[in-house]
A = this chain, B = another copy of it.
Protein backbone atom coordinates (compact mmCIF):
# COMPACT_ATOMS: atom_id res chain seq x y z
CA UNK A 1 0.00 0.00 0.00
CA UNK A 2 2.87 2.28 0.77
CA UNK A 3 4.45 1.44 -2.57
CA UNK A 4 1.19 2.21 -4.34
CA UNK A 5 1.00 5.60 -2.68
CA UNK A 6 4.57 6.30 -3.50
CA UNK A 7 4.00 5.33 -7.12
CA UNK A 8 1.16 7.78 -7.39
CA UNK A 9 2.86 10.55 -5.46
CA UNK A 10 5.83 10.48 -7.78
CA UNK A 11 3.71 11.11 -10.88
CA UNK A 12 2.92 14.40 -12.62
CA UNK A 13 -0.06 16.61 -11.86
CA UNK A 14 -1.45 15.65 -15.25
CA UNK A 15 -1.29 11.96 -14.32
CA UNK A 16 -2.88 12.59 -10.95
CA UNK A 17 -5.69 14.84 -12.19
CA UNK A 18 -8.89 13.68 -13.85
CA UNK A 19 -8.78 16.42 -16.49
CA UNK A 20 -8.62 13.78 -19.19
CA UNK A 21 -12.41 13.81 -19.10
CA UNK A 22 -12.73 10.06 -19.28
CA UNK A 23 -15.27 10.07 -16.48
CA UNK A 24 -18.06 11.15 -18.76
CA UNK A 25 -21.21 9.29 -19.77
CA UNK A 26 -19.92 9.70 -23.33
CA UNK A 27 -17.12 7.24 -22.60
CA UNK A 28 -19.11 5.22 -20.08
CA UNK A 29 -21.55 4.44 -22.85
CA UNK A 30 -18.75 2.94 -24.88
CA UNK A 31 -17.77 0.80 -21.95
CA UNK A 32 -21.35 -0.37 -21.62
CA UNK A 33 -21.28 -1.36 -25.26
CA UNK A 34 -17.90 -3.05 -24.93
CA UNK A 35 -19.15 -5.21 -22.06
CA UNK A 36 -22.26 -6.41 -23.90
CA UNK A 37 -21.94 -5.73 -27.62
CA UNK A 38 -24.85 -6.47 -29.93
CA UNK A 39 -24.38 -9.22 -32.46
CA UNK A 40 -27.30 -10.37 -34.62
CA UNK A 41 -26.47 -14.06 -34.05
CA UNK A 42 -24.40 -14.38 -30.89
CA UNK A 43 -25.84 -11.58 -28.79
CA UNK A 44 -29.09 -10.29 -30.31
CA UNK A 45 -30.07 -8.60 -27.04
CA UNK A 46 -26.78 -6.79 -26.62
CA UNK A 47 -26.17 -3.06 -26.65
CA UNK A 48 -26.24 -1.43 -30.10
CA UNK A 49 -23.44 1.10 -30.45
CA UNK A 50 -24.94 4.44 -31.47
CA UNK A 51 -22.39 6.52 -29.59
CA UNK A 52 -19.57 6.08 -32.07
CA UNK A 53 -19.35 8.42 -35.05
CA UNK A 54 -17.99 5.93 -37.53
CA UNK A 55 -18.61 5.97 -41.26
CA UNK A 56 -19.09 2.38 -42.39
CA UNK A 57 -21.27 2.95 -45.43
CA UNK A 58 -18.73 2.86 -48.26
CA UNK A 59 -16.13 0.22 -47.51
CA UNK A 60 -17.21 -1.80 -50.56
CA UNK A 61 -16.02 1.04 -52.81
CA UNK A 62 -12.66 1.24 -51.07
CA UNK A 63 -12.17 -2.50 -51.19
CA UNK A 64 -12.92 -2.63 -54.90
CA UNK A 65 -10.32 0.09 -55.43
CA UNK A 66 -7.72 -1.90 -53.48
CA UNK A 67 -8.40 -5.01 -55.58
CA UNK A 68 -7.71 -2.95 -58.70
CA UNK A 69 -4.61 -1.25 -57.22
CA UNK A 70 -2.44 -3.78 -55.37
CA UNK A 71 0.67 -1.69 -56.07
CA UNK A 72 -0.63 0.97 -53.64
CA UNK A 73 0.54 -1.24 -50.78
CA UNK A 74 4.23 -1.63 -49.99
CA UNK A 75 3.38 -5.04 -48.51
CA UNK A 76 2.09 -6.60 -51.70
CA UNK A 77 4.03 -8.35 -54.45
CA UNK A 78 3.20 -5.48 -56.81
CA UNK A 79 4.25 -2.66 -54.49
CA UNK A 80 7.09 -4.33 -52.61
CA UNK A 81 9.84 -2.56 -54.55
CA UNK A 82 8.97 0.62 -52.60
CA UNK A 83 9.11 -1.07 -49.19
CA UNK A 84 12.61 -0.07 -48.11
CA UNK A 85 12.39 3.60 -49.00
CA UNK A 86 8.96 3.98 -47.47
CA UNK A 87 9.77 2.06 -44.26
CA UNK A 88 12.78 4.35 -43.78
CA UNK A 89 10.96 7.57 -44.62
CA UNK A 90 10.47 9.76 -41.56
CA UNK A 91 10.68 13.32 -42.81
CA UNK A 92 8.54 15.77 -40.80
CA UNK A 93 7.06 17.06 -44.04
CA UNK A 94 5.52 13.78 -45.02
CA UNK A 95 5.82 12.04 -48.37
CA UNK A 96 5.49 14.68 -51.11
CA UNK A 97 2.91 12.60 -52.95
CA UNK A 98 0.92 12.23 -49.74
CA UNK A 99 0.81 15.96 -49.08
CA UNK A 100 -0.08 16.69 -52.70
CA UNK A 101 -2.85 14.12 -52.62
CA UNK A 102 -4.29 15.44 -49.35
CA UNK A 103 -4.24 19.03 -50.66
CA UNK A 104 -6.00 17.93 -53.85
CA UNK A 105 -8.58 15.91 -51.94
CA UNK A 106 -9.32 18.81 -49.60
CA UNK A 107 -9.96 21.03 -52.63
CA UNK A 108 -12.05 18.40 -54.40
CA UNK A 109 -14.43 17.91 -51.50
CA UNK A 110 -15.02 21.68 -51.48
CA UNK A 111 -16.15 21.53 -55.09
CA UNK A 112 -12.84 22.86 -56.40
CA UNK A 113 -13.84 26.37 -55.31
CA UNK A 114 -10.64 26.73 -53.29
CA UNK A 115 -7.12 25.34 -53.51
CA UNK A 116 -4.72 24.20 -50.79
CA UNK A 117 -0.95 24.61 -50.77
CA UNK A 118 0.72 21.21 -50.09
CA UNK A 119 3.49 23.06 -48.23
CA UNK A 120 0.98 24.08 -45.59
CA UNK A 121 -0.19 20.51 -44.94
CA UNK A 122 1.16 19.39 -41.55
CA UNK A 123 0.58 15.90 -40.15
CA UNK A 124 -0.63 15.09 -36.66
CA UNK A 125 -1.70 11.90 -34.92
CA UNK A 126 -5.35 11.95 -35.95
CA UNK A 127 -7.52 15.01 -35.40
CA UNK A 128 -6.82 14.34 -31.70
CA UNK A 129 -3.11 15.01 -32.18
CA UNK A 130 -3.67 17.82 -34.68
CA UNK A 131 -5.98 19.68 -32.31
CA UNK A 132 -3.56 19.39 -29.42
CA UNK A 133 -0.63 20.53 -31.58
CA UNK A 134 -2.52 23.67 -32.56
CA UNK A 135 -3.16 24.49 -28.91
CA UNK A 136 0.53 24.01 -28.09
CA UNK A 137 1.33 26.42 -30.94
CA UNK A 138 -1.27 29.06 -30.16
CA UNK A 139 -1.76 29.23 -26.41
CA UNK A 140 0.02 29.10 -23.08
CA UNK A 141 -1.30 27.22 -20.04
CA UNK A 142 -4.18 29.20 -18.58
CA UNK A 143 -5.14 30.87 -21.88
CA UNK A 144 -8.63 30.18 -23.17
CA UNK A 145 -10.48 29.37 -26.37
CA UNK A 146 -14.17 30.07 -26.87
CA UNK A 147 -16.23 27.19 -28.18
CA UNK A 148 -19.94 26.98 -29.01
CA UNK A 149 -21.76 24.42 -26.89
CA UNK A 150 -22.81 21.69 -27.38
CA UNK A 151 -19.35 20.48 -28.43
CA UNK A 152 -17.44 17.23 -28.90
CA UNK A 153 -16.74 15.74 -25.42
CA UNK A 154 -13.18 14.65 -26.15
CA UNK A 155 -12.17 18.25 -26.89
CA UNK A 156 -11.68 18.39 -23.14
CA UNK A 157 -8.91 15.83 -23.59
CA UNK A 158 -7.57 16.92 -26.95
CA UNK A 159 -7.39 20.65 -26.34
CA UNK A 160 -6.96 21.03 -22.60
CA UNK A 161 -5.50 18.01 -20.87
CA UNK A 162 -1.77 18.31 -21.50
CA UNK A 163 -1.72 21.90 -22.80
CA UNK A 164 -3.37 23.56 -19.79
CA UNK A 165 -5.61 25.56 -22.13
CA UNK A 166 -9.13 26.41 -20.93
CA UNK A 167 -12.36 26.11 -22.92
CA UNK A 168 -15.09 28.71 -22.42
CA UNK A 169 -18.47 27.65 -23.82
CA UNK A 170 -20.62 29.92 -25.95
CA UNK A 171 -24.15 29.05 -25.02
CA UNK A 172 -26.27 27.99 -28.00
CA UNK A 173 -29.96 27.28 -27.54
CA UNK A 174 -32.67 25.16 -29.06
CA UNK A 175 -34.92 28.24 -29.42
CA UNK A 176 -32.96 29.28 -32.49
CA UNK A 177 -31.79 25.81 -33.54
CA UNK A 178 -28.50 26.11 -31.67
CA UNK A 179 -27.18 28.84 -33.94
CA UNK A 180 -24.24 30.86 -32.67
CA UNK A 181 -25.37 34.41 -31.95
CA UNK A 182 -23.17 37.48 -31.85
CA UNK A 183 -24.61 38.25 -28.39
CA UNK A 184 -23.68 34.88 -26.90
CA UNK A 185 -20.22 35.15 -28.43
CA UNK A 186 -19.65 38.65 -27.02
CA UNK A 187 -20.96 37.57 -23.64
CA UNK A 188 -18.53 34.65 -23.40
CA UNK A 189 -15.67 36.83 -24.54
CA UNK A 190 -16.45 39.66 -22.13
CA UNK A 191 -17.01 37.37 -19.15
CA UNK A 192 -13.80 35.43 -19.64
CA UNK A 193 -11.52 35.93 -16.67
CA UNK A 194 -8.46 34.78 -18.57
CA UNK A 195 -6.79 35.71 -21.83
CA UNK A 196 -8.89 34.57 -24.77
CA UNK A 197 -6.62 33.33 -27.55
CA UNK A 198 -9.23 32.22 -30.04
CA UNK A 199 -12.46 30.63 -31.15
CA UNK A 200 -12.95 26.97 -32.07
CA UNK A 201 -15.65 25.97 -34.53
CA UNK A 202 -16.54 22.48 -35.66
CA UNK A 203 -18.13 22.85 -39.08
CA UNK A 204 -20.01 20.64 -39.85
CA UNK A 205 -20.89 20.58 -36.18
CA UNK A 206 -20.32 17.58 -33.96
CA UNK A 207 -22.83 16.84 -32.34
CA UNK A 208 -25.43 18.90 -34.21
CA UNK A 209 -24.85 17.67 -37.75
CA UNK A 210 -25.49 21.21 -39.00
CA UNK A 211 -23.34 23.43 -41.17
CA UNK A 212 -22.61 27.10 -40.63
CA UNK A 213 -24.51 29.48 -42.88
CA UNK A 214 -22.40 32.08 -44.63
CA UNK A 215 -23.88 35.04 -42.79
CA UNK A 216 -23.16 33.60 -39.36
CA UNK A 217 -19.72 32.52 -40.50
CA UNK A 218 -18.84 36.01 -41.70
CA UNK A 219 -20.00 37.50 -38.41
CA UNK A 220 -17.73 35.10 -36.55
CA UNK A 221 -14.75 35.92 -38.73
CA UNK A 222 -15.34 39.64 -38.30
CA UNK A 223 -15.40 39.03 -34.57
CA UNK A 224 -12.09 37.18 -34.38
CA UNK A 225 -10.51 39.66 -36.79
CA UNK A 226 -11.64 42.61 -34.66
CA UNK A 227 -10.43 41.00 -31.47
CA UNK A 228 -7.25 39.73 -33.12
CA UNK A 229 -7.77 36.22 -31.83
CA UNK A 230 -7.31 32.91 -33.63
CA UNK A 231 -9.97 30.90 -35.42
CA UNK A 232 -9.55 27.11 -35.42
CA UNK A 233 -11.97 25.39 -37.78
CA UNK A 234 -12.39 21.69 -37.22
CA UNK A 235 -13.62 20.51 -40.62
CA UNK A 236 -13.22 16.77 -40.13
CA UNK A 237 -16.81 16.13 -41.26
CA UNK A 238 -16.49 18.28 -44.41
CA UNK A 239 -17.28 15.44 -46.83
CA UNK A 240 -20.22 14.07 -44.82
CA UNK A 241 -22.52 16.83 -46.09
CA UNK A 242 -25.57 15.44 -47.90
CA UNK A 243 -28.90 16.37 -49.42
CA UNK A 244 -27.45 19.08 -51.65
CA UNK A 245 -26.63 21.34 -48.72
CA UNK A 246 -24.33 24.24 -49.50
CA UNK A 247 -21.33 23.64 -47.26
CA UNK A 248 -18.80 26.44 -47.03
CA UNK A 249 -15.34 25.91 -45.62
CA UNK A 250 -13.48 28.71 -43.88
CA UNK A 251 -11.01 28.49 -46.76
CA UNK A 252 -13.74 29.78 -49.08
CA UNK A 253 -15.13 32.46 -46.78
CA UNK A 254 -11.76 34.14 -46.36
CA UNK A 255 -11.58 34.49 -50.15
CA UNK A 256 -14.72 36.59 -49.97
CA UNK A 257 -13.88 38.95 -47.12
CA UNK A 258 -11.07 40.90 -45.56
CA UNK A 259 -9.40 39.23 -42.64
CA UNK A 260 -5.96 38.56 -41.23
CA UNK A 261 -5.23 35.10 -42.56
CA UNK A 262 -2.54 34.60 -39.94
CA UNK A 263 -5.40 33.95 -37.55
CA UNK A 264 -6.99 31.13 -39.56
CA UNK A 265 -6.24 27.43 -38.98
CA UNK A 266 -8.02 24.29 -40.20
CA UNK A 267 -7.98 20.83 -38.63
CA UNK A 268 -8.72 17.94 -40.94
CA UNK A 269 -8.66 14.14 -40.79
CA UNK A 270 -9.62 11.10 -42.83
CA UNK A 271 -11.33 9.38 -39.89
CA UNK A 272 -14.84 10.56 -40.68
CA UNK A 273 -14.98 11.44 -44.37
CA UNK A 274 -13.22 8.24 -45.45
CA UNK A 275 -13.98 6.08 -42.43
CA UNK A 276 -10.33 5.36 -41.57
CA UNK A 277 -9.97 6.33 -37.90
CA UNK A 278 -7.46 3.52 -37.38
CA UNK A 279 -5.04 5.11 -39.83
CA UNK A 280 -4.56 8.14 -37.55
CA UNK A 281 -4.38 10.77 -40.24
CA UNK A 282 -4.67 14.21 -38.70
CA UNK A 283 -3.94 17.35 -40.70
CA UNK A 284 -3.28 20.95 -39.72
CA UNK A 285 -3.68 23.49 -42.49
CA UNK A 286 -2.67 26.93 -41.25
CA UNK A 287 -2.45 30.20 -43.17
CA UNK A 288 0.13 31.39 -40.63
CA UNK A 289 3.74 30.60 -41.65
CA UNK A 290 4.93 30.53 -38.05
CA UNK A 291 2.26 28.06 -37.06
CA UNK A 292 3.08 25.83 -40.04
CA UNK A 293 6.73 25.93 -39.03
CA UNK A 294 6.13 25.17 -35.36
CA UNK A 295 3.45 22.54 -35.97
CA UNK A 296 5.70 20.77 -38.45
CA UNK A 297 8.36 20.40 -35.76
CA UNK A 298 5.70 19.09 -33.38
CA UNK A 299 4.49 16.58 -35.91
CA UNK A 300 7.40 14.35 -34.92
CA UNK A 301 5.26 13.32 -31.93
CA UNK A 302 2.44 12.00 -34.13
CA UNK A 303 3.57 11.42 -37.71
CA UNK A 304 1.35 9.29 -39.91
CA UNK A 305 2.90 5.87 -40.62
CA UNK A 306 4.73 6.07 -43.94
CA UNK A 307 3.06 2.80 -44.95
CA UNK A 308 -0.30 4.51 -44.54
CA UNK A 309 0.83 7.76 -46.19
CA UNK A 310 1.98 5.82 -49.24
CA UNK A 311 -1.26 3.87 -49.56
CA UNK A 312 -3.49 6.91 -49.10
CA UNK A 313 -1.43 9.00 -51.51
CA UNK A 314 -2.30 6.52 -54.26
CA UNK A 315 -5.96 6.33 -53.44
CA UNK A 316 -6.61 10.03 -52.88
CA UNK A 317 -4.80 10.86 -56.14
CA UNK A 318 -7.17 8.74 -58.17
CA UNK A 319 -9.49 11.53 -59.29
CA UNK A 320 -12.06 9.32 -60.97
CA UNK A 321 -12.38 7.11 -57.95
CA UNK A 322 -12.52 9.95 -55.45
CA UNK A 323 -15.18 11.81 -57.46
CA UNK A 324 -17.30 8.70 -57.47
CA UNK A 325 -16.61 7.97 -53.81
CA UNK A 326 -17.58 11.44 -52.59
CA UNK A 327 -20.80 11.42 -54.58
CA UNK A 328 -21.79 7.93 -53.50
CA UNK A 329 -20.84 8.45 -49.87
CA UNK A 330 -22.98 11.57 -49.68
CA UNK A 331 -25.87 9.75 -51.35
CA UNK A 332 -25.67 6.84 -48.90
CA UNK A 333 -25.44 9.14 -45.89
CA UNK A 334 -28.50 11.05 -47.09
CA UNK A 335 -30.43 7.83 -47.53
CA UNK A 336 -29.46 6.46 -44.11
CA UNK A 337 -30.19 9.77 -42.41
CA UNK A 338 -33.59 9.95 -44.04
CA UNK A 339 -34.55 6.36 -43.12
CA UNK A 340 -33.43 6.83 -39.56
CA UNK A 341 -35.04 10.20 -38.88
CA UNK A 342 -38.28 9.09 -40.58
CA UNK A 343 -38.32 6.04 -38.34
CA UNK A 344 -37.92 8.25 -35.28
CA UNK A 345 -40.52 10.67 -36.54
CA UNK A 346 -43.13 7.91 -36.69
CA UNK A 347 -42.87 7.45 -32.95
CA UNK A 348 -42.92 11.15 -32.24
CA UNK A 349 -39.20 11.69 -31.81
CA UNK A 350 -37.79 14.63 -33.70
CA UNK A 351 -34.21 15.61 -34.40
CA UNK A 352 -32.65 18.96 -35.09
CA UNK A 353 -32.79 19.51 -38.88
CA UNK A 354 -29.35 18.57 -40.19
CA UNK A 355 -27.53 17.86 -43.41
CA UNK A 356 -24.09 16.60 -42.40
CA UNK A 357 -22.25 14.34 -40.01
CA UNK A 358 -22.72 10.75 -38.97
CA UNK A 359 -25.30 11.46 -36.26
CA UNK A 360 -28.51 13.24 -35.34
CA UNK A 361 -29.18 15.55 -32.44
CA UNK A 362 -32.24 13.85 -31.01
CA UNK A 363 -34.81 15.67 -28.93
CA UNK A 364 -36.03 13.49 -26.03
CA UNK A 365 -37.10 16.39 -23.84
CA UNK A 366 -40.66 15.06 -23.73
CA UNK A 367 -39.40 11.80 -22.20
CA UNK A 368 -37.59 13.39 -19.27
CA UNK A 369 -39.18 12.78 -15.91
CA UNK A 370 -37.64 15.99 -14.72
CA UNK A 371 -36.15 18.77 -16.78
CA UNK A 372 -32.71 18.62 -15.23
CA UNK A 373 -29.41 17.03 -16.15
CA UNK A 374 -30.12 14.41 -13.48
CA UNK A 375 -33.29 13.67 -15.38
CA UNK A 376 -31.33 13.43 -18.59
CA UNK A 377 -28.82 11.00 -17.07
CA UNK A 378 -31.71 8.99 -15.62
CA UNK A 379 -33.27 8.64 -19.06
CA UNK A 380 -29.86 7.84 -20.56
CA UNK A 381 -29.41 4.97 -18.11
CA UNK A 382 -32.76 3.55 -19.09
CA UNK A 383 -31.88 3.80 -22.77
CA UNK A 384 -28.50 2.17 -22.34
CA UNK A 385 -29.40 -0.47 -19.76
CA UNK A 386 -32.88 -1.50 -20.86
CA UNK A 387 -33.45 -0.30 -24.41
CA UNK A 388 -29.83 -1.36 -24.97
CA UNK A 389 -28.82 1.50 -27.20
CA UNK A 390 -25.67 3.44 -26.50
CA UNK A 391 -26.56 7.02 -27.34
CA UNK A 392 -24.75 9.99 -25.79
CA UNK A 393 -26.46 12.45 -23.46
CA UNK A 394 -26.29 16.15 -24.37
CA UNK A 395 -24.72 17.00 -21.02
CA UNK A 396 -21.58 15.14 -22.05
CA UNK A 397 -21.41 17.59 -24.98
CA UNK A 398 -21.74 20.49 -22.53
CA UNK A 399 -25.22 21.23 -23.84
CA UNK A 400 -26.96 23.81 -21.67
CA UNK A 401 -30.46 22.29 -22.03
CA UNK A 402 -31.33 18.81 -20.75
CA UNK A 403 -33.05 16.27 -22.97
CA UNK A 404 -30.90 16.20 -26.12
CA UNK A 405 -28.96 13.13 -27.23
CA UNK A 406 -26.48 12.44 -30.01
CA UNK A 407 -27.30 9.28 -31.89
CA UNK A 408 -24.97 7.88 -34.56
CA UNK A 409 -26.45 6.18 -37.61
CA UNK A 410 -23.60 5.38 -40.01
CA UNK A 411 -21.62 2.84 -38.00
CA UNK A 412 -23.94 -0.11 -38.65
CA UNK A 413 -25.63 -2.00 -41.43
CA UNK A 414 -29.28 -1.53 -42.46
CA UNK A 415 -30.46 -4.50 -40.43
CA UNK A 416 -28.92 -3.26 -37.22
CA UNK A 417 -30.43 0.16 -37.77
CA UNK A 418 -33.84 -1.45 -38.19
CA UNK A 419 -33.38 -3.33 -34.92
CA UNK A 420 -32.39 -0.09 -33.20
CA UNK A 421 -35.52 1.60 -34.56
CA UNK A 422 -37.69 -1.35 -33.39
CA UNK A 423 -36.24 -1.05 -29.90
CA UNK A 424 -36.98 2.66 -29.86
CA UNK A 425 -40.55 2.04 -31.05
CA UNK A 426 -41.07 -0.55 -28.34
CA UNK A 427 -39.60 1.76 -25.72
CA UNK A 428 -41.84 4.66 -26.68
CA UNK A 429 -44.86 2.35 -27.01
CA UNK A 430 -44.34 0.84 -23.56
CA UNK A 431 -43.91 4.31 -22.27
CA UNK A 432 -47.21 5.41 -23.78
CA UNK A 433 -49.09 2.38 -22.43
CA UNK A 434 -47.70 3.11 -19.04
CA UNK A 435 -48.83 6.66 -19.41
CA UNK A 436 -52.31 5.52 -20.24
CA UNK A 437 -52.31 3.15 -17.23
CA UNK A 438 -51.39 5.75 -14.69
CA UNK A 439 -53.95 8.03 -16.33
CA UNK A 440 -52.22 11.23 -15.86
CA UNK A 441 -51.93 10.77 -12.11
CA UNK A 442 -48.77 12.73 -12.60
CA UNK A 443 -47.64 14.61 -15.67
CA UNK A 444 -46.83 11.68 -18.01
CA UNK A 445 -43.24 12.56 -18.60
CA UNK A 446 -42.57 11.97 -14.91
CA UNK A 447 -43.43 8.29 -15.20
CA UNK A 448 -40.44 6.98 -17.00
CA UNK A 449 -39.09 5.25 -13.93
CA UNK A 450 -42.35 3.46 -13.28
CA UNK A 451 -42.55 2.20 -16.80
CA UNK A 452 -39.14 0.60 -16.41
CA UNK A 453 -39.62 -0.63 -12.89
CA UNK A 454 -37.40 -3.64 -13.39
CA UNK A 455 -34.43 -1.35 -13.80
CA UNK A 456 -32.74 0.12 -10.81
CA UNK A 457 -30.46 2.99 -11.31
CA UNK A 458 -28.84 5.36 -8.98
CA UNK A 459 -27.82 8.90 -9.65
CA UNK A 460 -24.80 8.46 -7.49
CA UNK A 461 -23.26 5.78 -9.66
CA UNK A 462 -22.56 6.41 -13.28
CA UNK A 463 -23.89 3.17 -14.67
CA UNK A 464 -25.87 0.40 -13.06
CA UNK A 465 -23.61 -2.53 -13.79
CA UNK A 466 -20.27 -2.84 -12.07
CA UNK A 467 -18.81 -4.68 -15.04
CA UNK A 468 -18.92 -1.58 -17.15
CA UNK A 469 -17.11 0.67 -14.72
CA UNK A 470 -13.69 1.71 -15.90
CA UNK A 471 -10.81 -0.33 -14.62
CA UNK A 472 -7.99 1.80 -13.32
CA UNK A 473 -5.51 -0.08 -15.49
CA UNK A 474 -7.60 -0.62 -18.56
CA UNK A 475 -9.70 2.23 -19.80
CA UNK A 476 -12.08 0.64 -22.26
CA UNK A 477 -12.29 3.82 -24.21
CA UNK A 478 -11.48 4.47 -27.82
CA UNK A 479 -9.58 7.26 -29.44
CA UNK A 480 -10.94 10.22 -31.39
CA UNK A 481 -14.63 10.03 -32.27
Seen from chain A, the residues whose Cβ lies within 8 Å of a Cβ on chain B are 3-4, 6-8, 10-15, 20, 22, 54, 56, 59, 62-63, 66-67, 70, 72-73, 75-77, 80, 83-84, 86-93, 119, 125-126, 128-129, 132, 136-140, 143, 157-158, 162, 197, 228-230, 260, 262-263, 271, 275-280, 288-294, 296-308, 311, 472-475, 477-481
Given the complex, which residues of B lie within 8 Å of A91, measured CB to CB? 478-479
Known contacts A14-B136, A90-B278; is A262 also within 8 Å of B478 by CB?
Answer: no
Can you name the residue of chain B whose Cβ is closest to the Cβ of A303? B280
Q: Give me the 10 closest cross-chain CB pairs, A-B, nearest first.
A: A278-B306, A7-B262, A73-B75, A305-B305, A76-B76, A15-B294, A300-B479, A90-B277, A90-B479, A305-B308
With A66-B83, A119-B473 known, 10 other A-B pairs at CB within 8 A are: A76-B76, A87-B276, A87-B277, A90-B280, A92-B479, A157-B300, A158-B300, A279-B306, A289-B472, A305-B308
Q: A83 to B67, Cβ gap below 8 A?
A: no
Q: B137 to A11, Cβ gap below 8 A?
A: yes
Can you name the residue of chain B whose Cβ is closest to the Cβ of A13? B140
Give, as a whole number of angstroms, the nearest-CB distance from A356 to chain B: 20
Q: A87 to B126, Cβ gap below 8 A?
A: no
Given the complex, which residues of B lie within 8 Å of A298, measured CB to CB? 162
Known contacts A279-B87, A305-B278; is A92 also within 8 Å of B297 by CB?
Answer: no
Given the complex, which residues of B lie within 8 Å of A7, measured CB to CB? 260, 262-263, 288-291
Cα-based distance from A20 to B128 in the complex (angstroms): 22
Name the contact of A305 in the complex, choosing from B54, B75, B84, B304 (C-beta under 8 A).
B304
* Complex A-B: 10 CB contacts under 8 Å: A4-B262, A8-B290, A15-B290, A63-B83, A66-B76, A90-B481, A129-B302, A296-B474, A300-B480, A301-B301
Q: B22 to A297, Cβ gap below 8 A?
A: yes
Q: A10 to B197, Cβ gap below 8 A?
A: yes
Give, as a whole number of angstroms, the nearest-CB distance from A30 to chain B: 10
Can you name the residue of chain B whose Cβ is closest to the Cβ of A78? B76
Given the complex, which residues of B lie within 8 Å of A277, measured CB to CB? 87-90
Cα-based distance from A146 to B8 in the complex (angstroms): 20
Give, as a whole number of angstroms, the nearest-CB distance from A310 to chain B: 9
Given the complex, which residues of B lie within 8 Å of A301, measured CB to CB? 125-126, 128-129, 132, 162, 301-302
Name the contact of A14 in the complex, choosing from B22, B75, B86, B137 (C-beta under 8 A).
B137
Can you name the residue of chain B whose Cβ is closest to the Cβ of A22? B297
Known contacts A15-B290, A302-B301; is A3 also within 8 Å of B140 by CB?
Answer: no
Can you name the residue of chain B whose Cβ is closest to the Cβ of A472? B293
Known contacts A11-B138, A262-B3, A307-B279; is A75 also within 8 Å of B86 by CB?
Answer: no
Can you name the residue of chain B whose Cβ is closest to the Cβ of A135? B12
Cα-based distance from A262 to B5 in the complex (angstroms): 10
Known contacts A3-B262, A140-B12; is A297 also within 8 Å of B20 by CB?
Answer: yes
Name the contact of A15 in the complex, choosing from B3, B76, B138 (C-beta under 8 A).
B138
Can you name the residue of chain B whose Cβ is closest to the Cβ of A8? B290
Cα-based distance from A22 to B481 in the complex (angstroms): 34
Can you name the residue of chain B whose Cβ is closest to the Cβ of A17? B294
